[in-house]
Amino acid sequence: MAKQVFHLDFCGKNITVETGEIAKQANGAVLVRYEDTVVLSAATASAQAKEGLDFFPLTVSYEEKLYSVGKIPGGFLRREGRPTEHATLTARMIDRPIRPLFAEGFRNEVQVVNTVLSVDQNASSEMAAMLGASLALCISDIPFGGPIAGVRVGLVDGEFVCNPDLEQAERSTIELTVAGTAQALNMVEAGANEVDEDTMLEALMFGHEKIKELCAFQNEVIAACGKEKREVTLYAPDPELEEAVREKYEADIRAAVSIVKKLERYEAIDKLVDAAKEEYAAKEYASEKEKAEAVKQAGAICRSIEADEVRRLIIEDKVRPDGRAIDEIRPLDSQVDLLPRVHGSAMFTRGETQVISTTTLGALNENQIIDDVTEVGNKRFMHHYNFPPYSVGEVGRMGNPGRREIGHGALGERALSKVLPSEEEFPYAIRTVAEVTESNGSSSQASICAGTMSLMAAGVPIKAPVAGVAMGLIMDEETGKYTVLTDIQGMEDHFGDMDFKVAGTEKGITALQMDIKVKGITRDIFKEALAQAHGARQQILANMMSAIDHPREDLSPYAPKTSIIKINPDKIKDVIGPGGKNINKIIAECDNVKIDIDDDGTVVIYHMDRAAINKALEQINDICREAKVGDVYEAKVVRIESYGAFVNLFGKTDGLLHVSNISWNHVAKVEDVLKLGDLIDVKVIEIENGKVNVSAKALLPKPAGYKEPERNRAPRKDNRRPNGPRRFDHHKADEAPRPEEPRAEEPKEAE
């Protein structure tokens, strides 16, 4: 196929799609140029369905190449390794709207690879990759129900903006990513600054209008170069086997679905499923392969009966598996201070979902360093989510977090970050960790509730507490009947059509995430779900506030204390010293305090002991202090000359106390009134070219009848200026003429 090129002017930016030249051996491939962002998307599928699979094996990847932003990767190998957190989250974001559009029973392995080749930070590579993934599938021979597209929506100065640039994103009160088909939205990811539900709904609908434009453009490309879709065999159970299993087990399974307690319900259903498998395993078959398939199908049919009953009860009877009303929240419990040595801790329980959260405070130099294709260089707030297998009563792998853990952690981080104080208000790196100890639905939202309480227990002055709740949907696409559920549990999530997570404060939304299994969600469903979620959040917040209703004023005794000062940026080099000599000396002498210094002169000092902080502050202040005219000091005499004394004001700063400024009375010899080591009160009267002149007599009352010495106006040879005014030695301005004295010398460091 020859190269073909398609263009679209989209919201003032150029999109170009090229196909037929690069990656021609893939089933479908496109090169998407979005301004200077370039992404190659390629889709491939296996020729045959994988045997024995009971799920659709779809893999979507987002490959970040650091050359795309002119970076050489960090680390020893200096090459890209495991996916960054940003790449993992982007891959999930592309996967979620694509997955529901493959036919039920499709079992061929499909892989969509999006390689980021060039990045223009003002033209989203993530949205370009989503467009490319959809087009690569649509023009291929792989059966796919697209196209889909995604856009980012911002709210800048009261106006919605599609795919905002960096400057607009910085000012936006909404960070919304939506994806879907021309008919409806099927994926939402959002953060917001306590935005109300009506505004968020309008943002969703604004995004959908832009998605329609991108889908129309894709249809033009598909019409021009799309391949004919291949014929595939969709997996379906044997009709005779299904009839027999339903006849024997359906009534008992439907009855077991209504058992209220999760583990008892699961145990009863599992026993029935196992009984069906054992029955068919005992029969005679032509081969072991045929036997294994019959056993697998018997189990799948039982699970299908379970799903049908859950959905029927909710849609028709408005009855949930655990007996709750559709808008009822499970029993709540909130606690703080479980762990004595951590900086902050809390536990939140909702029904059979339970999370322990801890908060740890650290110096700003403990921020997470980010090495990916985004503009973000480091991250001050980290929210990590752990989901051990025992939380659902299972045995499983323990190790590095998977995509699910990373995704849930990012959602919680987004929700909580919107209420955190600024670095200036609270100069700490902050890490919250959610340990899921029990789970039956919506553990990510429980981690937000527990995280809020642990932050407040740690003394982090958050703007408002945040609570989260997961909304569900059971929908009959044929009849259009649906039911929106509040606080879904595991079974409702597994057999339902939507997982819509909403987190926010009493005032408004801080984060959203939606995944669906149907083709799309309408405006009316969104509106109903947002309204129910608002009421649920208020109930949950009330329970949380019963445990802790405001951030603590004092930090934990085990948390680092802090002090902030501003110094002249020109003094930073003096504080650090050659090769770090000065700052290392301060750290060593002050019990290993931590010191952060910004280029603007902001100095932050951390330590458990306030006394160590104060000692470090004093030393830094001594290095950075500058004398000002009018300042008064108790100074120490460090050097005596015939024309005056040098006195130490502070640190390494000395001043010249001229003999004429020692007293209102005439002083013939400095040694007559001052000795080395004497302390004397002085006032700074002049600073010239960095030299400080001080006066002691300026602090003394003028004697009665004192007369100013007469000044000799006769010109002096060394003070003449051609055609100009006479110049006076400022040290002799207030005294009678004397024999010539040496001028003030550079102050020397005190011995």
- pLDDT for 452-464, tens place per residue? 999 999 999 999 9
Torsion angle of alpha carbons 388, 390, 394, 397, nearest 10°? 30
In this predicted structure, what is the pLDDT of residue 522?
A: 81
What is the DSSP track for 702-731?
Answer: PPTT--PPPP--S--GGG--TTS-----GG
- Six-digit token string for 295: 């056993």
- Six-digit token string for 445: 């939202």
602-607 β-sheet, strand order:
561-566, 602-607, 594-597
3 state SS for 211-262? HHHHHHHHHHHHHHHCCCCCCCCCCCCCHHHHHHHHHHHHHHHHHHHCCCCH
CB 116 within 8 A of CB 39: yes
H or E stretch covering 613: helix 610-624
Look at 311 and 35; give whichever has higher pLDDT.
35
In 3D space, the residue among 123, 48, 53, 125 whose CA is nearest the CA of residue 84 turns out to be 125
In this predicted structure, what is the pLDDT of residue 712?
A: 55
In this predicted structure, what is the pLDDT of residue 363?
A: 86
In this predicted structure, what is the pLDDT of residue 516?
A: 83
Q: What mean pLDDT is predicted for residues 407-420?
A: 94
Q: How confident is the model at residue 743 (pLDDT cuts 50, 70, 90)?
A: very low
Backbone angles phi, psi at 333, to 5 degrees: -150, 130
For 391, residues 6+ apart whose C-beta sits below 8 A from its C-beta are 436, 437, 438, 439, 443
Q: Is the predicted pLDDT of residue 722 greater than 50, yes or no? A: no
User: Could you give the CA distance from residue 352 to residue 440 in angstroms, rounded to a whole number?
Assistant: 5
In this predicted structure, what is the pLDDT of residue 329?
A: 94
3 state SS for 488-522? CCHHHHHHCCEEEEEEECCCCEEEEEEEECCCCEC
Of the listed ranges 377-391, 454-468, 716-730, the one predicted with least confidence = 716-730
User: Could you give the CA distance from residue 661 to residue 7 in angstroms, rounded to a whole number?
Assistant: 82
For 379, residues 6+ apart whose C-beta sits below 8 A from its C-beta are 367, 368, 370
For 99, residues 6+ apart whose C-beta sits below 8 A from its C-beta are 56, 58
Q: Is the predicted pLDDT of residue 745 greater than 50, yes or no? A: no
Q: What mean pLDDT is predicted for residues 213-223?
A: 97
Q: What mean pLDDT is predicted for residues 182-203?
A: 93
User: Could you give the CA distance from residue 360 to residue 376 in angstroms, rounded to a whole number?
Assistant: 22
CB 371 within 8 A of CB 419: no
User: Could you give the CA distance from residue 438 to residue 352 in angstroms, rounded to a whole number?
Assistant: 6
Q: What mean pLDDT is predicted for residues 235-258?
A: 89
In this predicted structure, what is the pLDDT of residue 626?
A: 83
In percent, the amount of the chain with pLDDT more than 90 equals: 62
User: Could you give the CA distance from residue 518 to residue 183 in angstroms, rounded to a whole number?
Assistant: 12
Q: Read off the pLDDT of residues 600-627 as tens digits, 9 standing for 90 and up.
A: 888 999 998 889 999 999 889 888 888 8
Q: Is 444 left (phi over 0), alpha (psi -120 to 50) or beta?
A: alpha
* 174-180 vs 149-156, strand pairing mode: antiparallel
What is the DSSP track for 645-682?
Answer: EEEEEETTEEEEEEGGGT-SS--S-GGGT--TT-EEEE
Mean pLDDT of the chain: 89
